[in-house]
Amino acid sequence: MDPLGARSCFVDADVLPSWAQEPDGIDVLDSPLCREAPPDSGVRSPFPHNEDINDKVILWQGDVALLNCTAVVNTSNETLTDKNPVSDSIFGYAGPELQDEMRKLKGCRTGEAKLTKGFNLAARYIIHTVGPKYKNKYRTAAESSLYSCYRNVLQLAKEQSMSTVGFCVVSTQKRCYPLEDATHIALRTVRRFLESHGSALEKVVFAVTEQEEATYLRLLPLYFPRSQWEEQSSLPLLPPDIGNADGEPIVPERQIRISEKPGAHEDDTDEEEGLDHDLCLIGSHAFARMEGDVDKQRRLALQGQLSGATLQKQHQRNYNRWLSRARTEDLSDIAALKALYQSGVDNCGRTVIVVVGRNIPVLVIDMEKALLYFIHMMDHVAAKDYILVYFHTLTREHNHLDSDFLKNLYDVVDAKYRKNLKALYFVHPTFRSKVSSWFFTTFTVSGLKDRVHQVESLHQLFTAIAPDQIEIPPFVLSYDARENGPVFPSRSSSSGL
């Protein structure tokens, strides 16, 4: 059934199974209330009537695994082994190859989204996401996590240039998420995404069961009104929290912290409040201030006015804010640079992260977004031991990250990044880069010097990482062949995440 009364969506939508492309019912949302325009209250809905957006949305009662979308969504648990009707159907239709690829993902954190091929499905890809477990005591956290599920799926679809996405109901009954609350979050997140990035997607399909359909039919007009009448009629039915401009739930406590302390003097000595305010300036100031006044925090700690535990707490809150932004902002332009990507594992089984220096246009990219992308990709990787491989090959002045940027990055990331980084391989260094890295690791940051290894050739790198476990840019292979003789890794092209 088409939720928006646009029956042509079914006829034209190749995303539906062939047997479902011709509707056999009437517009279930049709009612006498839709036949006349209501009195204009003068108040517009935050979700105004928009035919272009409405035409992109389809509600379909059926199995998401049967949809012929570019990608369909699988809801699972953190180990991606959940047994629920959606997952069972997707795995059943996709075939055994999906199981093999799932093992390579090594799980998925709540709120994140990961991609695999669709194998035997009609869909080309499957986007796997993990909905939160719902407890009323932690409702705010659950809402934010569920929002992240939908937003990250849509963002991934956009980054991969997918035209159609088929959603299941992400948070299953096993996770105890109230269906109505979950539906509000799903619909408003999709609505806000289509408002901002509508050109990126042609169709979004909500595939629901018979039990779920009634809730979706009732709530769809609130976020996708088909007429001015429905827009006005939906106003009193909208929940108090409709989220921010992206549909993300608004947490009142965060709003209070962002506000400047009424009547506070500039030199007020209430350090915790002052630091809290400093840390909430993220996004409105230069990159150098991304962690607030770091020197001020350290000075206070040295003076005994700020305990180590408080300093650590402030740092963790600051990092979590960056992580929240990283999961929701559009970072496709940074991803397209292919300057940072995850490869295989080294000889010790540790994840390999590759950085390609020549692909970093320092003078033209937004360095704050570069940090967000780094956090977005690295947060789950850094939870376990990992290594970095930096290709300095053929970099120029405009590719060099200055020491201030690296210092600020080192300061803002979570402690796990430093603790679990076991080695940094600096491939094809120059004399200048050797001096710079020595100076940086000796005087700017501590605890990193012994982990840095200068690597002159790929042959040397392959003693630590097997050739088939690292994706090497073609220009690096060509350069190394000229300088050190040919090498023959089984994979020779890089692919950014």
Read off the pLDDT of residues 29-59 as tens digits, 9 standing for 90 and up. 343 334 444 555 567 789 999 999 999 999 9
| Pair (217, 337) in one structural domain | no
Please indicate, yes or no, if residue 492 is contained in any of the structural domains: no
| Pair (160, 101) in one structural domain | yes
| Pair (64, 131) in one structural domain | yes
Q: Could you count the other beta carbons within 10 Å of the beta carbon of residue 400?
A: 16
Let me know: does 94 contact 121? Beta carbons within 8 Å. Answer: yes
Q: Structural domain of residue 398, as residue ranges?
A: 332-484
214, 237, 260 - which closes a domain: 237
| Burial of 145 from C-beta contacts in 10 A (0-12 / 13-18 / 19+) | buried
pLDDT of residue 311: 63
Let me know: does 184 contact 142? Beta carbons within 8 Å. Answer: no
pLDDT of residue 258: 39
Q: In what order do the strands lie in the sheet with 386-391?
A: 340-345, 351-356, 386-391, 421-427, 452-455
What angle separates helix 294-302 from helix 308-328, to the nearest 10 degrees? 160
295, 328, 361 - which closes a domain: 328
- CA distances, 135 to each of 195, 248, 378 (Å): 31, 19, 28
Q: In whole angstroms, what is the distance from residue 46 CA to residue 243 CA? A: 10
Please indicate, yes or no, if residue 496 is contained in any of the structural domains: no
What values do phi and psi take at 249, rounded to 5? -55, 140
pLDDT of residue 427: 94
Please indicate, yes or no, if residue 1 is contained in any of the structural domains: no
pLDDT of residue 491: 42
What's the predicted TM-score (pTM) here? Answer: 0.51
C-alpha angle 75-208-98 in degrees, rounded to nearest 5: 35
| Pair (337, 312) in one structural domain | no
Q: In whole angstroms, what is the distance from residue 84 CA to residue 341 CA? A: 32
Q: Mean pLDDT per segment of 10 residues, for the chain of length 497 residues?
A: 35 55 37 44 82 95 96 95 94 94 91 95 96 87 93 95 96 85 96 93 96 95 93 87 87 45 41 37 39 51 55 77 81 85 92 92 80 88 92 84 71 84 92 72 63 92 93 92 75 38
pLDDT of residue 18: 52
Residues 183-208 pLDDT 10s: 999 999 999 999 999 889 999 999 99
Please indicate, yes or no, if residue 2 is contained in any of the structural domains: no
| Pair (321, 353) in one structural domain | no
pLDDT of residue 42: 61
Running DSSP on this structure, what letter comes out for residue 87?
Answer: H
Please indicate, yes or no, if residue 94 is contained in any of the structural domains: yes
Please report, to the nearest 10 degrees, the dihedral formed by the alpha carbons of residues 168, 174, 180, 182 taken in order: -60
| Pair (37, 148) in one structural domain | yes
Residue 171 tokens read as 């948070």
| Pair (277, 316) in one structural domain | yes
Sequence-distant (6+) residues with CB within 8 A of 386 are: 350, 351, 352, 353, 420, 421, 422
Q: Which amino acid type is present at position 153?
A: V
Q: In whole angstroms, what is the distance from residue 72 CA to residue 169 CA? A: 11
| Pair (294, 336) in one structural domain | no
List beta partners, residue 203: 164
Please report, to the nearest 10 degrees, the dihedral formed by the alpha carbons of residues 112, 278, 257, 285 taken in order: -60
Please indicate, yes or no, if residue 337 is contained in any of the structural domains: yes
pLDDT of residue 22: 40
Q: What's the domain count of the chain?
A: 3
pLDDT of residue 168: 96
Q: In whole angstroms, what is the distance from residue 406 CA to residue 410 CA? A: 6
**DSSP-derived 3-state class of residue 389:** strand
Q: In whole angstroms, what is the distance from residue 360 CA to residue 351 CA? A: 22
| Pair (76, 149) in one structural domain | yes
Q: In whole angstroms, what is the distance from residue 209 CA to residue 192 CA? A: 24
| Pair (215, 261) in one structural domain | no
CA nearest neighbour of 229 among 441, 37, 5, 95: 37
- CA distances, 319 to each of 132, 266, 288, 291, 406 (Å): 21, 25, 15, 8, 16
Q: At 106, which CATH number?
A: 3.40.220.10
Please indicate, yes or no, if residue 244 is contained in any of the structural domains: no
| Pair (129, 145) in one structural domain | yes
| Pair (320, 210) in one structural domain | no
pLDDT of residue 445: 56
**DSSP-derived 3-state class of residue 268:** coil
Please indicate, yes or no, if residue 106 is contained in any of the structural domains: yes
What values do phi and psi take at 394, rounded to 5? 55, 30
What angle separates helix 139-159 from helix 308-328, to the nearest 10 degrees? 50
CA nearest neighbour of 52 among 101, 120, 6: 6
Let me know: does 107 contact 77? Beta carbons within 8 Å. Answer: no
237, 268, 296 - which closes a domain: 237
